[in-house]
Structure 1
Amino acid sequence: MRVSGVVLGLAATVIAHGDHDHDQEPLAGPLEGLWYNSLPGDGGTQADSVFSGISTFGRLKYHPCLTSDVKYDIAFIGAPFDTGTSYRPGARFGPSGIRQGSRRLNLYGGYNVPLEANPFNSWAKVIDCGDIPVTSYDNAYALQQIEEGHNLLLSRPPFTDASKPGPAKKGKTLPRLITLGGDHTITLPLLRSINRAYGPVSVIHFDSHLDTWKPKVFGGSPSHQASINHGTYFFHASQEGLLANDSNIHAGIRTTLSGPSDYENDGYCGFEIVEAREIDKIGTDGIIKKIRDRVGTEKPVYLSIDIDTLDPAFAPATGTPETGGWSTRELRTIVRGLEGINLIAADIVEVAPAYDTNAELTTMAAADTLYEVMTLMVKKGPLSKMVEEEEVLELKA
């Protein structure tokens, strides 16, 4: 029988490929703790399955940071609080849900293809610190717990470049924290903590709502504590001097308003607005440009992401869903476009897993968005580099 050259060529390719398989190393990824010796006599190693084990963000190592002096460069911390909501509760389960949605992040090693970096395997020591203990019976005390817990973790020396000058007060270099919410009220105590470490900061705020409403407009403000909720926390942040005025920006806004005066009040709080619908005219590149032009690349920036920035088709499990939002792909593209901005800390909020589908669409979207944020922080390098870059710019000037 005559065998064609094509068949012989394919056979040779298969044989060669088989030989290469014997030389290949298994996908170890960055997490040595997930590997253990295989069965006796096997002679190899076996990776823990992504569907087994205790959930941490991206299968990172867990440390009870609030009760230990462990050092890190980037840490994930949960703030399970949801008694500041005006519609659906349930975001107290956001931290655990986001961790569940993050289990596959480094299934293939964790390399971020668009950003050309691996945030799990870099110069940075990245860990999961668990959750801040938060009471569900007293909002004032709960917000104090979040502020103090966050500040305790933010104030310790980082694992890398602890002795080098940085952008924080007294010229310190500090670690970065990424907080898993929780409803959006938590951003107020987080900004209070940031202010203690850095002073007023610029804020990039992804959301479908302004969250700068005056308390009497949003909720009626029957008491001081009732005036602090997930629609008014930026009003309070502005009043307390936590924001660097005229350098803050909302992105993804599309909610109804009490009237045009809401926009006027928002301006008093120092924000510029990018409406969600603008993406149809200027695209993701246009959105990115507006954000970068507003906050710049030199000053410290805090990033707050409400998962309701996404359309409910992509993220149904949220406290106050609004139709007409961005897709998960669009949001991740825009976040990647923030590369080079000096992100000192971040949060993601309003993930309420009880309203999710069985496919965990919302928790996966939240986890994947934070994967982009974590990669940006890793690519930027230690916060001590911010001071080095400022010195270079001064010399050039």
Structure 2
Amino acid sequence: MFPGATADREAASYVVVGAPLDVTTTFQPGTRFGPDRVRRFAESYDNYDHRTDQQFTELGVHDAGDVRAWDDVPEYCDYLGGQLRDVVWDGAVPLLLGGEHTVTAPAVEAANPDVFVCLDAHLDLREEYDGNAWSHACVTHRTLQTADEAIILGARTGSADEWARAEADDVTVVGPESVDDWLADPPTFGGRSAYLSVDIDAADPGFAPGTGTMEPFGLSPRQMRDVVRTVASACVGFDLVEVNDRDDGQAAALGGKLLREFVFSHSALDS
């Protein structure tokens, strides 16, 4: 159980769902361990948040456990999407713990946002990778089948075709060197809903080495925290993906903290 996620499912405002998919990782596998690892390394965090004057255990968070993964990625994503759709239909906000980034696609379909906001080192705008349209390298492309717009924060690598695709009006790329400027004057969603996906590799690997495809020159944890705080108010869903077991807990600790920051910031709207 995610620490502090003590609410009953029927009364929950937020529902944690683990999705330990680890099929298309392209360098260092291990995302199957991500959900439990994030839960484990969040155990040391205090229940109380001074900034928002809230107790995590009072915010209606329920942990529904993991949706066990299997090798048929389209079939698994279809089933996972159904589980997340139930969360949305019950009036709760899904908090998805990956697993590889592929699991974001069914979550976005379930939440049905207007804007997809992503913290990610990679553009993930490929139509396929190694012949696989369900690769984690295709997830932003796939989310644009649901959302009208994608904002990718921290991206610093991609293929020539991906960079060309990113020039379209429905994609905004904010490189690591420009994230502080974006935070100083963030977009107003104007009543449009957003979904926030945090790929832990958006962080510089010096801060979060436990991920499959590390990319240097990334974001600091504080920048990622500030993005989460800024976007949370518009969000109808959140995920944290691409944490694996190949470090001493740095990536999982950061991921768990960002999930909590999302809940505290989103809950503060109603307090």
TM-score (norm 2): 0.92
Q: Counterpart amino acid of 1:371?
A: R
The 3-state SS of whatever aligns with 2:56 is coil
Tell me how many residue pairs correspond in the alignment.
Answer: 271
The 3-state SS of whatever aligns with 1:59 is coil
2:159 paired residue among 233, 258, 280 = 258
How far, CA to CA, are the matches of 1:272 and 1:111 in structure 2?
35
Cα separation, partners in 2 of 1:338 and 1:236, compared to 1, 3 Å:
closer
How far, CA to CA, are the matches of 2:55 and 2:67 in structure 1?
24
2:48 match: 111
The 3-state SS of whatever aligns with 2:87 is helix
* CA deviation after TM superposition for structure 1 residue 266, in Å: 2.3
The within-5 A match list for 1:171-182 is 174-182=91-99
Q: Radius of gyration: which is bigger?
A: 1
* CA deviation after TM superposition for structure 1 residue 118, in Å: 1.5
* CA deviation after TM superposition for structure 1 residue 380, in Å: 1.7
* CA deviation after TM superposition for structure 1 residue 306, in Å: 0.3
The within-5 A match list for 1:285-324 is 286-290=181-185, 292-293=186-187, 296-324=189-217
1:243 match: 147
Q: Counterpart amino acid of 1:111?
A: Y
Q: Is 1:61 the counterpart of 2:6 in the alignment?
A: yes
Question: Is contact 2:105–2:139 with CA below 8 Å preserved after alignment?
Answer: yes
1:132 match: 67
Q: Counterpart amino acid of 2:26?
A: S
Question: Is contact 1:234–1:269 with CA below 8 Å preserved after alignment?
Answer: no
Deviation string, structure 1 residues 136-158 (Cα, Å, up to 9, x no partner): x21122111211111122212xx
How far, CA to CA, are the matches of 1:153 and 1:337 in structure 2?
24
1:142 match: 76
1:344 match: 236
Question: Is contact 2:202–2:218 with CA below 8 Å preserved after alignment?
Answer: yes
How far, CA to CA, are the matches of 2:242 and 2:216 in structure 1?
16
* CA deviation after TM superposition for structure 1 residue 121, in Å: 4.9
How far, CA to CA, are the matches of 2:84 and 2:52 in structure 1?
30
**Structure 2 residue ranges without an equivalent (≥5):** none
2:253 paired residue among 352, 364, 372 = 364
Deviation string, structure 1 residues 17-52 (Cα, Å, up to 9, x no partner): xxxxxxxxxxxxxxxxxxxxxxxxxxxxxxxxxxxx
2:87 match: 153
2:176 match: 276
* CA deviation after TM superposition for structure 1 residue 332, in Å: 1.5
Q: Percent of aligned pairs with the same residue?
A: 25
Question: Is contact 1:134–1:146 with CA below 8 Å preserved after alignment?
Answer: no
Question: Is contact 2:102–2:135 with CA below 8 Å preserved after alignment?
Answer: yes
Question: Is contact 2:198–2:239 with CA below 8 Å preserved after alignment?
Answer: yes
Deviation string, structure 1 residues 338-374 (Cα, Å, up to 9, x no partner): 36x3211100000002x112xx211111111111111
* CA deviation after TM superposition for structure 1 residue 233, in Å: 2.0
The 3-state SS of whatever aligns with 1:263 is helix
What RMSD over aligned residues (CA atoms) do the two structures have, in Å? 2.1
Q: Is 1:333 the counterpart of 2:226 in the alignment?
A: yes
Q: Is 1:374 the counterpart of 2:263 in the alignment?
A: yes
Deviation string, structure 1 residues 210-243 (Cα, Å, up to 9, x no partner): 111232xx32x2xxxx2111111222232x3x01
**Structure 1 residue ranges without an equivalent (≥5):** 1-55, 157-173, 383-397
Deviation string, structure 1 residues 267-325 (Cα, Å, up to 9, x no partner): 4482101001225xxxx3x23145x31x5252111000000111111100001111111
Q: Counterpart amino acid of 1:237?
A: T
Question: Is contact 2:105–2:142 with CA below 8 Å preserved after alignment?
Answer: yes
Q: Counterpart amino acid of 2:118?
A: H
Cα separation, partners in 2 of 1:83 and 1:254, compared to 1, 3 Å:
same
Deviation string, structure 1 residues 160-208 (Cα, Å, up to 9, x no partner): xxxxxxxxxxxxxx2111110111000111112123xxxx521110000
TM-score (norm 1): 0.64
The 3-state SS of whatever aligns with 1:378 is helix
Question: Is contact 1:76–1:129 with CA below 8 Å preserved after alignment?
Answer: yes
Question: Is contact 2:127–2:138 with CA below 8 Å preserved after alignment?
Answer: yes
Q: Counterpart amino acid of 1:254?
A: R
How far, CA to CA, are the matches of 2:155 and 2:76 in structure 1?
28
Cα separation, partners in 2 of 1:99 and 1:121, compared to 1, 3 Å:
closer
Greater percentage in strand: 2
